[in-house]
Each structure stands twice: as structure tokens, then as C-alpha cells.
Amino acid sequence: MAVKWAPLSTPLPRRRQTTAVLLWMLLIPILLTVFAYLLITPTFTPWCLAYLVFIALDPAPEVGARRSMFFRRLPVWRWCKDYFPMQLLPTVELDPSKNYLFGYHPHGIIGLGAFMSFGTDASDFSKKFSGINVRLLTLQTNFHLPLVREILLTLGISSVSRRSCDNILNKGPGHSCMIVVGGATESLHAFPGIADLIVKKRLGFIKVALRNGASLVPVYSFGENDIWDQVPNPPGSVVRTIQTVFQKYMTFAPPLFFGRGIFQYNAGLMPYRRPIISVVGRPIDCPKVESPSQELLLEYQQKYLDELMHIWDTYKDKYAKNRKREMRFIE
């Protein structure tokens, strides 16, 4: 197959967008390499060791991070957003006097739409949902990465632990959080044209909403599963078996994904330029119940699933024209 090279006439804005996404993808290895170099350099070793102690003691990931709107609005995030492009689509206004727990679907390979549209202000979340102070939540292990954690914390990204959720939702009116519900397991089902969601067994975020009296808000991102391809991994295959074993011991699953290259379009790890439209559904008001029963959890989960399906049915013919099948809730 002939190599399809990127044309030399590519406009500067598109080159800038590609560079921004590339730097984002390389951010973790770059920062970890910088820290490792500083750690082995005698002049900086004491400072690095002191920083590691600080990381172990720093409560920021559990108390809402160190959010900076200036950092969330840096042009580089908008360049990343425009690469695809991404769009944030509200369906109703949200009352800033309430607290919300947003659930993001699907997970995709790495939840890129969640990061750009909710972890930064690239899609103008602060303008479209005035008064709502949202914090994207991620695994606590990500805050063990030196320097990387400072980027996450400055964006306002926090730990997905129960304590963190409670702290954020009790900060006052408008303080809200977003959880990528499907988790790493769902990434193994992230294929273009497919909308298989692992959500029926996920009752933890429903319980958090009820315990804090926060309204549940489902978000479905059309196109999240389309920006990378993945090596086929049907149940029982060698690939899926290895992924399952890896997940059992490492707590996350490694999808074997691929996309386009930097200077050519045939193969590489860069995501494809395919649109991602994040549709924010209608809120589901929850009563504040300190110890919700299983029946209550299932009742509000069903309301949540119904609204999620409503989003899909309303917008699928516009934003999922190339779907291979309808959205499914899988185990």
C-alpha cells in the first residue's frame, strides 16, 4: 500500500494543531525523563527527594486540586480541541445553585474528549455552564507521577476516590465532578462505529450522588471511539487473554491501538482527525440519602440509563451516521 504523505501545503493552523496533540501525547514521557535526569544530577537530587516526600504528603488530589482558570484556558488546549475538532453540546441549562455528578461515556482508548472538554476550558465549559465548577476525576495512581501530577492538579483534575468526590461536592453550590464511568475495562471495547458501554455494574457513582444529594448528569461523546483503531480482541482470543491477565495484576487494561502518523496518514499512534461531540444530557435530581438501599440505587441507575439512551436516540442519526450497531449496555 502506497504511503499517503501529509501535503507540504498543509496550513499553519493545522500544523499547529498536530504539534499540540503530539506534545500532549508525549507529555508524560517528557516530564518523567526530565525528573529522572534531575534526580540523578547531584545538584538537584536533594530537591527531587524533598519533592517526592511532598508528593506523598500532598492532599491536593483529594481536596479538589489547585485549579487555575488561566492554565485551563491556555491556547494549546484549544489547538488540541480544534485538531479533531471537538464540540460541547448542552441540551439544558444547569442550575449553578446545585451540585452535579457528570458521568462520561464512552471511555474510548484514553477518554480524550473528557480531558479536553471537561479537564480544560478548550470547549468553553465555563461559558456554556456558567457557575458550574467541574473537576474531572482520574485514578489516584496518576498523582504519583512526578511533574505530571502538577499539570493535572493545575487543571483541577482530582482523584476519583470516594473521599475526593465527597470533598468536591460539599465545597458549595456549583462544585461538581465528572467520572469516566466505564473505566479501563471499557477501553477494550472501543472500536470505531461501536458504542458498547460497561455501566450496569457501576453503582458506585450513583451511590456517591445519592449520599451527597448531587444531580446525576449523563454525557455521551459521539466520536470518542472513532479517533483510533484497535487490534481485534474478541473474548477467548490471545490478545484479550493477555489484556485480561494484565488488568488483573496492574488494575488497567492496555488496548493495542493505532491511528495515523505525524507526516503520513497510513499508520502511527496519532489520533485520526475525526469529530467528537460531547452531548450533556438532562440532570436527574437525587435526594440526599446517607445510606441508600440497593433498590434506590437501581432505581436511579435506571433513570440515568434512560437519559443516556435518550441522548443516543436523539442524536445518533446526526453524529453517529456510520455506526455499526446501536448502543448497548454490556457486562
Q: Tens-of-pLDDT digits for all 331 residues of the chain?
A: 678 888 888 899 999 999 999 999 999 999 999 999 999 999 999 999 999 999 999 999 999 889 999 999 999 999 999 999 999 999 999 999 999 999 999 999 999 999 999 999 999 999 999 999 999 999 999 999 999 999 999 999 999 999 999 999 999 999 999 999 988 889 999 999 999 999 998 999 999 999 999 999 999 999 999 999 999 888 889 988 888 888 777 767 788 899 999 888 888 999 999 999 999 999 999 999 999 999 999 999 999 999 999 999 999 999 999 999 999 999 7
DSSP state of 261: -
Vertex 221, ends 216 and 227: CA angle to 5°? 150
Domain spans, the chain: 12-330
* Rounded-to-integer distance, Cα 246 and Cα 230, Å: 17
DSSP string, 277-322: EEEE---B-----SS--HHHHHHHHHHHHHHHHHHHHHHHHHH-TT
Chain centroid, CA 174 distance in Å: 20
Radius of gyration of the chain (CA): 20
Task: Output the pTM of the full model.
Answer: 0.94
The DSSP bridge pattern shows strands 100-105 and 86-90 to be unpaired
With respect to CATH, is domain 12-330 assigned 3.30.530?
A: no
Burial classification of residue 41, based on how many CB atoms lie within 10 Å of its CB (0-12 exposed, 13-18 middle, 19 or more buried): exposed
